[in-house]
């Protein structure tokens, strides 16, 4: 199975940024129903800022790439999204210090480390109608596929598919965390914007890392 390089991680970020730009209005629409109506604009601005720092992290190890992403998001993205996505990349990068390439198995461990950081930071559980509902099943599907000997491309596609299913599964849920939780039962029937941007993150991985 091929190694994943620092340059490929940058391609992942670039594809994610492009998907965020394409879906900015959709994310904002989702957030206007149960949040502050700024998730799309915030995420788009944050990843445009990340790409603006590309010269600073290009050619560096994966940990440096992810740390730069994290610090940029935390400083430019408002609401909960900046700290949560920032924590994801910061924690994930800790496992890739000094490494310019990692195995498919190491990438899975890196994703899991990021997920655990988000859970710790946001104090959310599966079923709370947050990004966890799209992130956790994606990572579990990826790791299961890799451990089962599936190709990297196949594992990433399964992750993206599981993430989309997790995103859709947030629709009937009642929000337990964040601004949406203030609505109580009225938050049911709306797709969670954080889980939607997370599904885009894994879609971007499948489209940029699997080839």
CATH of the domain at 23: 1.25.40.340
Taking phi over 0 as left and psi of -120 to 50 as alpha, with beta for the rest, 59 belongs to left
Q: Which residues pair with 4 in a beta bridge?
A: 102
Model pLDDT, residue 96? 96
User: What is the Cα–Cα distance from 184 to 26, expressed in whole angstroms?
Assistant: 23
The helix/strand/coil state of 4 is strand
Q: Quote the pLDDT of residue 49.
A: 97
The overall average pLDDT reported for the chain is 91
Least confident span in 54-63, 67-76, 107-116, 119-128: 119-128
Q: Select from 163, 197, 190, 195 the least CA-distant residue to 30.
A: 190
In a 10 Å sphere around its CB, with 0-12 CB exposed, 13-18 middle and 19+ buried, how is residue 55 labelled? exposed
User: How far is it, in rounded angstroms, from Cα 154 to Cα 160?
Assistant: 10
Helices and strands (H, E) in the chain, number of each type: 10, 2
* pLDDT at residue 144 in the model: 98
Dihedral angle of Cα 133, 94, 142, 104, to the nearest 10 degrees? 170
Distance CA 189, CA 201 (A): 23
Instruction: With cut-offs at 50, 70 and 90, classify the pLDDT of residue 188.
Output: confident
The domain tally of the chain equals: 1
pTM score, two decimals? 0.95
With cut-offs at 50, 70 and 90, classify the pLDDT of residue 78: confident
- Give me the mean pLDDT over the 145-167 stretch: 97
More confident residue, 179 or 146: 146
Helix (H) or strand (E) holding 95: none
The residue with tokens 């992290």 is: 57
Q: What is the pLDDT of residue 1?
A: 66
pLDDT confidence band for 190 (50 / 70 / 90):
confident
Domain boundaries, position 147: 4-209
The residue with greater pLDDT, 160 or 174, is 160
């Amino acid at each position: 199975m091929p190694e994943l390089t620092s340059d490929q991680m940058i391609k992942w970020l670039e594809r994610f940024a492009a998907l965020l730009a394409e879906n900015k209005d959709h994310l904002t629409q989702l957030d206007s129903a149960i949040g502050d109506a700024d998730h799309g604009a915030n995420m788009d601005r944050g990843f445009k800022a990340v790409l603006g720092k590309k010269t600073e992290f290009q050619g560096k190890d994966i940990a440096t790439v992810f740390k730069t992403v994290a610090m940029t998001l935390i400083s430019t993205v408002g609401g909960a999204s900046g700290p949560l996505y920032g924590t994801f990349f910061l924690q994930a990068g800790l496992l890739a210090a000094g490494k310019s390439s990692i195995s498919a198995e190491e990438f899975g461990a890196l994703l899991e480390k990021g997920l655990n950081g988000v859970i710790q930071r946001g104090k959310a559980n599966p079923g709370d109608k947050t990004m966890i509902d799209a992130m956790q099943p994606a990572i579990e599907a990826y790791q299961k596929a890799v451990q089962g000997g599936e190709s990297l491309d196949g594992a990433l596609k399964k992750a993206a598919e599981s993430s989309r299913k997790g995103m859709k599964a947030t629709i009937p849920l009642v929000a337990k965390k964040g601004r949406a939780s203030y609505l109580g039962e009225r938050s049911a029937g709306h797709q969670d914007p954080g889980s939607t941007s997370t599904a885009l993150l894994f879609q971007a991985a499948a489209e940029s890392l699997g080839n």
